[in-house]
Amino acid sequence: MDKIISIFESHRYTHREMVVLMGGGHTIGFAHCKEFESRLFGPKPDPSVHPRLAERLKGMCANSSSDPAISAFLDPISAGNFDNMIFKNLLNGLGVLGTDQAMASDPRTRPFVEEYARDSVVFFRDFARAMEKTSVYRVKTGSQGEIRRRCDAFNNLPTGTK
């Protein structure tokens, strides 16, 4: 957690804002197996992974070396819903990513994980505020930036054709 906390602090985010952005950002979406398989396979599997989740992910990712598109939902309980379930999952060892799971064990971040697991109203409020803060942080204007038509791609990438 030290490195992640340091990165967020360098951008003037509090521990609370870091937890709400990371957890909230991962309440919907997925990760490819390569992003978390080191927690499952190898000589020293991560003991913080709940055994049932570990078995499920191992089964899903067994063929990921031949198919790198294989992935798992970051919130295995309420995938597709924007809610506070990911924080409840983290408290039960159901974090798919090690960085997410670490928030539930680090004393600097666990109180926020617990609070958001308990109170979805506080989670929604804090997430909205942190996203507002993010939306105005180091905004590029004029020719330095662009408003993307699709969030996952730049608008005008050179293609090599005319």
Cα–Cα distance, 67 to 153 (Å, whole number): 23
Q: What's the gap between Cα 99 and its chain centre?
A: 8
| Residue ranges of E strands in 11-146 | 30-32, 71-73
pLDDT in tens, 117-137: 999 999 999 999 999 998 877
Confidence of residue 162 (pLDDT cuts 50, 70, 90): very low
Q: What is the pLDDT of residues 10-27, one digit of tens each?
A: 999 999 999 999 999 999
* pTM metric for this prediction: 0.83
CB 52 within 8 A of CB 89: no
2 is an annotated ligand-binding site residue: no
- For the chain, give the percent of residues with pLDDT over 70: 96
The residue written with tokens 């967020």 in the block is: 8
Query: Is residue 32 marked as binding?
Result: no
Instruction: Please tell me whether 100 is known to bind a ligand.
Output: no
Q: Any idea which residue has 């293609």 for tokens?
A: 159
Q: Name the fold adopted by 2-144.
A: Peroxidase; domain 2 (1.10.420)
CA–CA distance, 96 with 31 (Å, rounded to integer): 8
Those residues whose C-beta lies under 8 Å from the C-beta of residue 29, and which sit 6 or more positions away, are 73, 74
> Residue 83, annotated ligand binder?
yes
Taking only the tens place, the pLDDT of each residue in 34-58 is 999 999 987 888 999 999 999 999 9
